[in-house]
Chain A
Amino acid sequence: AQKVTQAQTEISVVEKEDVTLDCVYETRDTTYYLFWYKQPPSGELVFLIRRNSFDEQNEISGRYSWNFQKSTSSFNFTITASQVVDSAVYFCALSETGFQKLVFGTGTRLLVSP
């Protein structure tokens, strides 16, 4: 069965601090896809990144970086030098090949104060 766990319910930081959001997943499949989405108060889920199970290279996009480790079934997300605009709920999600539904974690609410 698929499962995504985001143990951090809420994180509060001060602007310019670095913050890491944790994601642990479970799947029996060898081919799967991992995603991070951002949900601002407007409600829309904004796509941030997709990673397939065969690509363990870490990725950096501006202030965002992702650390994928199959050995620990983790796909963590780091925001460097956080900004107030980063305040949102962040979701990690998993989909398996042939099953296109996304299985989401419960989300981590990030509050960045000035």
Chain B
Amino acid sequence: DAGVTQSPTHLIKTRGQQVTLRCSPKSGHDTVSWYQQALGQGPQFIFQYYEEEERQRGNFPDRFSGHQFPNYSSELNVNALLLGDSALYLCASSFEPRANYGYTFGSGTRLTVV
């Protein structure tokens, strides 16, 4: 049973470019959340998708957007990249009726903006 799968593993982008990160949730999970983890910091909540809609959002600018597909997979898009967007981006999935029972995280995508 595959866990949460994220792609790509690593990515280098130039300031001002746009990037799309992808996440496939654990089998049986229907909710996907995205987190940004800067070096030496704890993960920060970006947003959560359920039933193909953004349900909650953290304190991130509109440059960060996302999408959830009918198969529950999700994308995170970041426009107009800044050097400060360099971080590990983690995807977490959960099953809505038991959401607070636990979240399964992927290994993340390490984004470097130069």
Judged by a CB distance under 8 angstroms, whether B74 is at the interface is no
Q: Is the CB of B110 within 8 A of A47?
A: no
Q: A66 at the A/B interface (Cβ < 8 Å)?
A: no
Inter-chain contacts of B88 with A (CB < 8 A): 43
Interface: B90 (CB within 8 A) = yes
CA distance A87 to B31 in the complex (A): 31
Question: B: which residues have CB within 8 A of A?
Answer: 31, 33, 35, 40-45, 48, 56, 58, 88, 90, 92, 94, 99-108, 110
Q: Report the minimum CB–CB distance from A63 to chain B (whole Å).
A: 21
Q: How many A-B residue pairs have CB under 8 A?
A: 62
If A100-B48, A100-B100 touch, does A45 touch B33 (CB 8 Å cutoff)? no
Complex contact B107–A42 (CB within 8 A): yes
What is the size, in residues, of chain A's interface with B at 8 Å between Cβ atoms?
A: 25
Please report the C-alpha to C-alpha distance between residue A106 and residue B38 in the assembled complex, in whole angstroms: 10
Q: Which B residues are CB-close (under 8 A) to A104?
A: 42-44
Residue of B at shortest CB range from A103? Answer: B45
Task: Annotate A81-114 by CB proximity to B: 1 below 8 A, 0 otherwise.
Answer: 0000000000101010101111111110000000
